[in-house]
DNA sequence: TCATCACCTTAACAAAAATCAACCGCCACG
DNA sequence: CGTGGCGGTTGATTTTTGTTAAGGTGATGA
């Protein structure tokens, strides 16, 4: 509800009901898209929707996992820190993507820290409620499993790429993903800061910069956060060669 | 392995019934340990148990995922190959570990190739049956989710380590895992070939060898595939420093 | 308007890792 | 017995990447 661009802080005082856009996001998520609206509603409670400012954390690694989350709007990064204090960006989630289901379900602690990288709206689903509903609703359980399956596959690919591709090749791969075409040329914007992409691809900002410079020789023009790829196929060839 | 188990082939002419050891393996697996024996039995059919020789493949990347697998005995490596033909060992599974649930459940294709690295016994569970039983048995669904959650967490850690640790540090980490102690000294055998460990850790055999050489300076002695760690804490300190 | 700051880039250097090549020891096999 | 192959090691070299340091550019705010 609420006008689709209406002042959000207005009716924040009490229960926050999902807005029209929120419902769109929920509907687009692979986890909830095929589920009954009533069921989804039953998962929500008073403080289900949180507005999170850029830089704010949604949850912290090693704290008890009491919720799973769905991005309704915005962008969230999933960061993991090692005992030695190093940080690694594991993945980045946009609207309609769920995360932390696994942690919430296994009744353990969050295995990553989540942080909004732009102002975001997050749906928080209580872990206990979630477990209940899953137990009572087999199709929901299957949807959860499918969702976990997707996450697993993404991570799998990520590992593969980290192990077998050089930095520039990983960047090429990332750009090809964004272009979402199989041939011809493409132009688009980088979805977030280069530092963040660099970290996501497992390299330093400096290496990222150099990698981008290297791709220039393959028909990739970069101005600010605008990217132009002359020849998608050529870029793919480069990627596959490493 | 065939000695101390009861008469098995007696009443089921064609069916291969799990041996006593097989039941032990099944019982130890996080996926099946808490489930009713009847349910587990209902998942099996005539060709559920396969004996796989070293080097044989259990399934191939991109082929339709019609089964999920449980290692009953032996060792299996999970390999992923990129479009460019590179190979990366994603993980290695021993007895009681399940894999490919995700692919089997999402009705898609295998996202990795599986290969036995020593002679092994594998339990193959039909994907359709699996989905049926999950739909009909909520606790089973939750067990599957928990299992997926564990796999997810392992991969997450793997990504983090690949991104934030040097080769020698990853090796130290691997050895500390094997030692399974928090202090003192330890001696044990490497569970499989060094090449394989190297690939699993995301480095070449040469780098592995050199990394091992580097750890020698930290009280790690290696002879053939026997490892001795003088001081676990010292090694951990080294690992955490990178 | 200027100062400041965050993001990004570049360069020079150092560290880490891959590559190329040679070699050892062991074992299976003719 | 040799001999070949495989797993492993080692050395020399190159490539890749991180590090350190410096500078540039655009947005923001006093």
Residue with tokens 């002042």: A7
Q: Does B57 or B27 have the greater pLDDT score?
A: B57
- Residue A125 to residues A52, A65, A201, B115, B149, Cα–Cα distance (Å): 15, 11, 30, 39, 17
pLDDT per residue as tens digits for the range B182-240: 999 999 999 999 999 999 999 999 999 999 999 999 999 999 999 999 999 999 999 99
Range list of H helices, chain B: 20-28, 37-43, 101-105, 127-136, 138-164, 167-179, 194-200, 205-216, 232-241
Residue count of chain A, please give it: 242
**Which CATH code fits B20-163?**
2.60.120.10
Which of A158, A130, A144, A116 lies closest to A44 in space, CA to CA?
A130
**CATH architecture, range B165-241:** Orthogonal Bundle (1.10)
pLDDT in tens, A206-229: 999 999 999 999 999 999 999 999
Tokens of A136: 């009572």
Give residue B193's Cα distance to chain centre: 15
Question: Where is pLDDT greater, at A106 or A180?
Answer: A180
| A204 CB and strand D closer than 7 A | yes
- Which region, left, alpha or beta, applies to residue B163 given φ > 0 means left and ψ of -120 to 50 means alpha? alpha
Which residues surround strand C, with CB < 7 Å?
A: A 193-195, 205-206, 208-210, 212-213, 222, 225; B 166-168, 202-204, 206-207, 211
Predicted local distance difference test score (pLDDT) of residue A4:
35
- Cα–Cα distance for residue pair A229/A236, rounded to 1 Å: 11
B77 contacts B62 by C-beta, under 8 angstroms: no
Distance A197 CA to C15 C1' (A): 24
Whole-angstrom Cα distance, residue B32 to residue B98?
10
User: Cα A123 to chain center, whole Å?
Assistant: 14
C1' of C25 to CA of B228 (Å): 22
- Least Cα distance to B112 among A88, A141, A236, A153 occurs for A153
**Per-residue confidence band for A102, with pLDDT thresholds at 50, 70 and 90:** confident
Q: Out of A57-61, A66-70, B84-88, B112-116, pick the least confident.
A: B84-88
- Report if pTM > 0.75: yes
Q: Which nucleotide is nearest to A216 (CA to C1')?
A: C9
Sheet holding B220-223, edge to edge: B186-189, B226-229, B220-223
Neighbours of A5 (CB within 10 A): 8
Residue that wins the pLDDT comparison between A156 and B4: A156
Residue that wins the pLDDT comparison between A58 and A102 = A58
Would you state the pLDDT for residue A78? 95
Assess whether pLDDT exceeds 50 at residue B174.
Answer: yes
Q: Which two tokens stand for residue B237?
A: 């300190």
Residue spans per domain, chain A = 10-163, 165-241
Please tell me the class of the A10-163 domain. Answer: mainly beta
Residue A78 β-bridge partners: A91, A114
């Amino acid at each position: 509800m609420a006008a689709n661009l209406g002042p959000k802080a207005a009716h924040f005082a009490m229960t926050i009901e999902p807005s029209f856009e929120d419902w769109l996001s929920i509907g687009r998520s692979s986890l909830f898209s095929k589920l009954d609206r009533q069921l989804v509603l039953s998962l929500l409670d008073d403080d289900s929707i949180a507005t999170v400012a850029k830089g704010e954390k949604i949850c912290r690694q090693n704290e008890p996992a009491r919720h799973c989350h769905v991005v309704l709007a915005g962008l969230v990064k999933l960061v993991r820190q090692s005992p030695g204090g190093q940080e690694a960006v594991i993945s980045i989630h946009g609207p309609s993507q769920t995360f932390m289901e696994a942690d919430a379900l296994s009744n353990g602690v969050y295995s990553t820290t989540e942080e909004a990288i732009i102002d975001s709206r997050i749906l928080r689903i209580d872990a206990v409620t979630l477990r209940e509903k899953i137990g009572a609703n087999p199709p929901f359980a299957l949807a959860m499993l499918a969702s976990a399956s997707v996450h697993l596959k993404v991570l799998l690919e990520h590992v593969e790429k980290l192990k077998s591709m050089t930095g520039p090749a990983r960047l090429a791969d990332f750009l090809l993903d964004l272009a979402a075409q199989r041939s011809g040329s493409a132009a688009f914007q980088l979805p977030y800061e280069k530092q963040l992409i660099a970290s996501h691809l497992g390299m330093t900002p400096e290496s990222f910069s150099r990698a981008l410079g290297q791709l220039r020789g393959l028909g990739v023009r970069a101005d600010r956060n605008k990217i132009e790829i002359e020849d998608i196929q050529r870029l793919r060839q480069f990627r596959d060669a490493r």
